[in-house]
Amino acid sequence: MRAVGQFVNLQGNQACANAAVAAGCRFFAGYPITPSSEIAEHMSFELPKVEGVFIQMEDEIASMAAVLGASMGGLKSMTATSGPGFSLKQENLGYSSAAEIPCVIVNVMRGGPSTGLPTRPAQGDIMQAKWGTHGDHPIIVLAPASVKEVYDETVRAFKLTELLRVPVVIIYDEIIGHLVETIEVPDPDTLEIVERKWATGDAADFVPYAQTEDLIPPMPYPGDGYRTHTTGLTHSENGFPTQDPETVERVIARLFDKLDMHAELIEQFEVTDCDDAEILVCAIGISARAARRAVKLARDRGVKVGLFRPVTIWPFPEQAFLDAASKAKMIIVPEMNRGQLILEIERIVAGKATVTGLNRIDGEAIEPAEILTKIEEVL
């Protein structure tokens, strides 16, 4: 169901699929895996209605490869998976980063490692989302925390991947994926839908990876007559492999510089009660929703506590976090893993405040009462 302009009950995974189609996604390749399977199931119904293509591949490696091929063919493309499948996608995700092939990858997180807890929530893929593939590589990772935000951030993921030619990963825990909430489905005409920058001009002058002013080279549209060479090897601006140190430095630097240049477009975050916060809670996903409740309860008791919730977790919105934490003496990081987001917080804080974690790895969500207790412990 893709009701428009009315309030409907939607599951998080269904919202993701609906938003992808509304954003112009016309190709989905995937393999069923709990707890993300509803995304594939829903796409299999919705894509044919808009002359899109759904294909169930033989595994997650092939799924990611198909998505890249479809994207190079000119289609907005997406895949969805969970922990073990996300691991299998990493090599081709790195290829996407190197060759600057737009695509969206959804990872509905579950307990690990290995097969782990297929039906239980976790937040153990935070660091994998940034560092999962080898080598230095650009990546954008978004972490919605509600069904409405899953919808909005999926639309934004397609905007970012198309504009910046960088893979965009959406991660959220099983609870958000299976949560049913009432949301207003926006009219597609009100959405900010963008298309990638296609090559124009004389084909003889076309340079596939040109150093443009905005650091984003235009892509050749299949059949338009532009000659290009696509490889995972480090390549020069003409697309052909090179090991020339100066060229390698320049080309790789551009992949990261384009994210820095467009940071304002990429970064998204929520700040709650941080103006005078002496204690700051930082969390994502369902843990952030518990934290929001705990912060309110603590505020009702006169405790100066605030919440910083990064929606974009990679690149991490460092300056926004530092502004929110400017008065904080203590930072609490509740997360459903052994401690991953906390590592980034410790790096950014650099000893200017005490950072402590609150962790669960048993397949259960962190409750507001646990966070409230932790706040009271550090007073």
- Nearest CA to 296 out of 332, 269, 272 is that of 272
Question: How far is residue 82's CA from residue 228's CA, in Å, rounded to a whole number?
Answer: 34
- CA distances (Å), 139 to each of 32, 132, 169, in order? 24, 10, 8
Lookup: tokens for 13:
């995974």
Q: How far apart are the first and last CA of the chain?
A: 49
Same fold, 7-190 and 269-377: yes
Alpha helices in 267-366 (DSSP H): 285-300, 318-324, 341-349
Dig out the tokens for 23 from the structure: 């954003």
Share of the chain above pLDDT 90, in %: 97
Contact 341, 124 (CB under 8 A): no
> Residue 3 has what pLDDT?
59
Q: Which two tokens mark 144?
A: 């919605």
Percent of the chain at pLDDT exceeding 70: 99
Q: Which of 87, 243, 112, 263 is nearest to 169 (CA)?
A: 87
Residue 287, SS3 per DSSP: helix
Contacts of 287 (CB under 8 A, 6+ apart): 123, 334, 335, 336, 365, 366
CB 330 within 8 A of CB 280: yes
For residue 205, the 8-state DSSP code is: G
Name the class of domain 269-377. alpha beta
Fold of 7-190: Rossmann fold (3.40.50)
Bridge-based pairing state of the strands 117-121 and 104-111: antiparallel
**What's the confidence (pLDDT) of residue 51?**
97
- The confidence band for 2, taking pLDDT boundaries of 50, 70 and 90, is low
Question: Bridge-partner residues for 68, per DSSP?
Answer: none
Task: Report, as an integer, the average pLDDT of 172-198.
Answer: 94
Mean pLDDT of 331-352: 98
With a threshold of 0.85, does the pTM exceed it? yes
CA distance linking residue 319 with residue 316, whole number of Å: 9
Note the pLDDT tens digit of each residue in 251-300.
999 999 999 999 999 999 999 999 999 999 999 999 999 999 999 999 99
Distances (CA, A) of 105 to 39, 112, 141, 279, 297: 11, 19, 9, 34, 36
Banded model confidence at residue 189, pLDDT cuts 50, 70, 90? confident
Contact 31, 81 (CB under 8 A): yes
Q: Which residues pair with 56 in a beta bridge?
A: 30
pLDDT at position 27 over 60: yes
Q: Which pLDDT belongs to residue 131?
A: 97
Residue with tokens 């259960």: 364
298/91 Cα distance (integer angstroms): 45
Residue 184, classed as helix, strand or coil, is: strand
> Which pLDDT band holds residue 188 (cuts at 50, 70, 90)?
confident
Q: Give the pLDDT of residue 4.
A: 59
Q: Is 24 left (phi over 0), alpha (psi -120 to 50) or beta?
A: left
Domains of the chain, residue spans: 7-190, 203-264, 269-377
Q: How much is the mean pLDDT over the chain? A: 96
Residue 26: which residues within 8 A CB-CB, separation 6 or more?
Answer: 47, 50, 51, 52, 53, 75, 76, 77
Q: How confident is the model at residue 357 (pLDDT cuts 50, 70, 90)?
A: very high
197 close to 218: Cβ distance less than 8 angstroms: yes
Q: Is the dihedral of CA 313, 325, 337, 131 positive or negative?
A: positive
Q: Is 210 exposed, middle or buried (0-12, 13-18, 19+ CB in 10 A)?
A: middle
> When comparing pLDDT for 353 and 5, which is higher?
353
